[in-house]
A = this chain, B = another copy of it.
């Protein structure tokens, strides 16, 4: 029964009452919230309590506070979740758990299953874009920074055809978390031959072969796993 202790539902909790205020007034992301002082008056608590509640809501993206300007309804992106997952994974890794591997294989399991579905459904524009991205990877295969962004866009674009913005966000969140953890634990790797694996995925998807696409994705993650387990040993 930590419902009250944590997010504090619509019960007496300050956070819950602010959340309820957003719901009741149907405020969209970006809409202004009452000022801290107004909330103090409305909720009948001290400014300290109001600020702590806002800070907690800000931490999960429900509220956005802009210094000297006001408080607003937040974007509620998955970024706070990514940060927490990153932290948790880094900490777990330091404590002997295989949390990095778990995160990687979470991505593998999900994406390998999804790629089957996306086969044959990718519009021509996206295919063109994917082909272009593979080309970019092949070209500047030496820039770790640029490669990351390209790799990210490839994965995002690949699953765009599933036509589910939330799904895309979630996949991107997992990508981001893995990326950040890798950056914290391992040395920046040489992109090496990664572009080939992406090309294989793209070819299989274009060919309309679901099983081959799934295999290609798994091979891609096999390669990442190899690199990661190699460098993470010196964690």
Residues of B near A19 (CB, < 8 A) are 87
Q: How far is the CB of A166 from chain B (nearest CB, A)?
A: 4
Binary per-residue interface labels of chain A (31-70) against chain B in the complex, 1 for a CB within 8 Å, 0 otherwise:
0000000000000000010011101111111100000000
Residue from B23, B79, B84, B87 within 8 A of A90 (CB atoms) = B23
A95 nearest in chain B by CB position: B28
Range, interface on chain A: 35 or more
Q: How far is the CB of A45 from chain B (nearest CB, A)?
A: 14
CA distance A53 to B87 in the complex (A): 16
A110 at the interface (CB under 8 A from B): yes
Residues of B near A193 (CB, < 8 A) are none
Q: What is A's interface to B at a CB cutoff of 8 Å? A: 2, 6-7, 19, 22-23, 26, 28, 48, 51-53, 55-62, 76, 79-81, 83-84, 87-88, 90-91, 94-95, 99, 102-103, 105-106, 109-110, 112-114, 116-117, 162, 164-167, 170
